[in-house]
Amino acid sequence: MTDSNRIPHTGYFDRFGGRYSPEVLIPALDTLAQAFEEARNDPAFWQEFNRHALEYIGRPTPLLHAQRASESLGGAQIYIKLEGLANTGAHKINNALGQILLAKRLKKSRIIAETGAGQHGAATAAMCARFGIPCRVYMGRTDWRRQYPNVYYMERFGAEVVPVDSGSKTLKDAVNEALRDWAESFLDTHYIIGSALGPHPFPTMVREFQSIIGRELIDQLATKNIAPSHIIASVGGGSNALGIFYPYLHGLAQETLDSSLQNAKLEKYLQSVEHPLLLGVEAGGNETGHASRMNGRATEGIVQGYKSFFLSDENGQLLPTHSIAAGLDYPGIGPELASWGDVGKVMFDSATDEETLEALDFFAQREGLVFALESAHAAAAAIKIAPTLDTHQSIVIHMSGRGDKDLFIAAAHLQPEPWAEFLRRELDDLEPHNKHSAVPGDSE
Ligand SMILES: Cc1ncc(COP(=O)(O)O)c(C=O)c1O
């Protein structure tokens, strides 16, 4: 391949990316970049990665034909890549696995992470439990509150979850806090960043570990003899979108020596089909705000160690954002996805909070699937696109996560009364004066 975007040793994707880091972190980033290069060229590394992917994550995740949903919309056949069936409920575990294996190579004895929706935190905490490494996760206070089920799981996995009270108390503030920690602790600590952002080598590394999704998808499409017209993924920092778009952007002759899929067969398929439109769906939010960066609303800037598009004011200060999905309200976008968007190889749309909730209900009612609120943004875009296509065409939605974590948010919108009643009952049971009589067999 001659694509200049491949193997960006400098960490640049055209003019985006780079390594704009405080001096103190440069040695840590150099060491990490070198370890990553060595690992990606080491078959033993990929053998171990693939073994855990199979046995622990549950790969490959299925590709489902959503027949009732397709019929109901009366257009294209809808296929859904069920990444939410991965252990811990989302794509984030692929990257957590790859990075913890790197941390082991680097002999790090402590892991830190940031998290927004809690999926990356839960994935990292789970990997740390499995490898017996202490773990601290930074989480903006707003996200800590709204995604508390994932806080619970992180703590059950033995992680320390630290709420962050600075700024907007969301993902970007958690990233700041994790970077601050890492600047003081990198000698014994690895920072597992959760999306394809930050200073080099993080964006390349995260994309590399997530690209297993796209390679698997190509395998599944080739087997079913399907050439979709669209592949649709939600976009926070960009890791699930890059992961599934990867083969169409870079081809399959990947830098990794991952031989779990038969590349020759897949290359043949890729060359024989017309490439689909790759569509990233951002948070359209509501009247109070959004996080749509790629439709001309964001400007170029350098934040959190990399150059990309950011929602910022005329003084370069980041603007407040809003999304019903905690994983999508980040004001920037990972540099590689920004570069593909800039040259029109990835297109962008947005879905509002309301459209997202409608999409959640649509697929629950027709397919018995509960999308994560993040992924339901992609589903919302698919609901608009499918009826404009013929029934012999097909589209793929990336269900990057499942919505267990969103029960408290979704239920409060979709069935507020019964949900409020349930919460009142639960609270009553938790009250100390009720606790005694709640013990089974203790009634007078
Ligand atoms: C299920 C799910 N999908 C998507 C995202 C967005 O992140 P990214 O753009 O890195 O995939 C998140 C972030 O938390 C998530 O939990």
Report pLDDT for 1: 33
Residue 89 Cβ contacting ligand 1 at under 6 Å: no
- pTM of the shown model: 0.94
Atom number in ligand 1 closest to CA 210? 11
* Per-residue model confidence (pLDDT) at position 4: 39
Catalytic residues: 92, 114, 400
Ligand 1: distance of its center to the CA of 115 in Å? Answer: 10
Q: Which CATH class is domain 12-55+91-201?
A: alpha beta
> What separation in Å is there between the alpha carbon of 167 and the centre of ligand 1?
21
Range list for CATH 3.40.50.1100 in the chain: 12-55+91-201, 60-89+206-407
**Ligand 1 contacts CB of residue 159 (under 6 A):** no
For 410, how many CA atoms within 13 A lie in the half-sphere containing its CB?
Answer: 22
The residue whose CA is least distant from atom 4 of ligand 1 is: 374
CA-to-CA dists, residue 46 to 53, 81, 197, 314, 347, angstroms: 10, 23, 23, 45, 31
Q: 287-327 pLDDT, tens per residue?
A: 999 999 998 789 999 999 999 999 999 998 999 999 999 99
Residues of the chain with pLDDT under 70: 1-9, 252-262, 433-444
Phi, psi of 96 (to 5 degrees): -60, -40
Q: What is the dihedral of CA 221, 246, 251, 201, to 10 degrees?
A: -150
Tell me how far the alpha carbon of residue 272 lies from the centroid of ligand 1, in angstroms. Answer: 31
Instruction: Count CB neighbours of 366 within 10 A.
Output: 17
List beta partners, residue 227.
none
CATH number of the 60-89+206-407 domain: 3.40.50.1100
Closest CA to 192 of 120, 272, 130: 120
What's the CA gap between 293 and 310, in Å, rounded?
A: 7
Specify the pLDDT at position 392: 97
Quick check: CB of 327 below 6 Å from ligand 1? Answer: yes
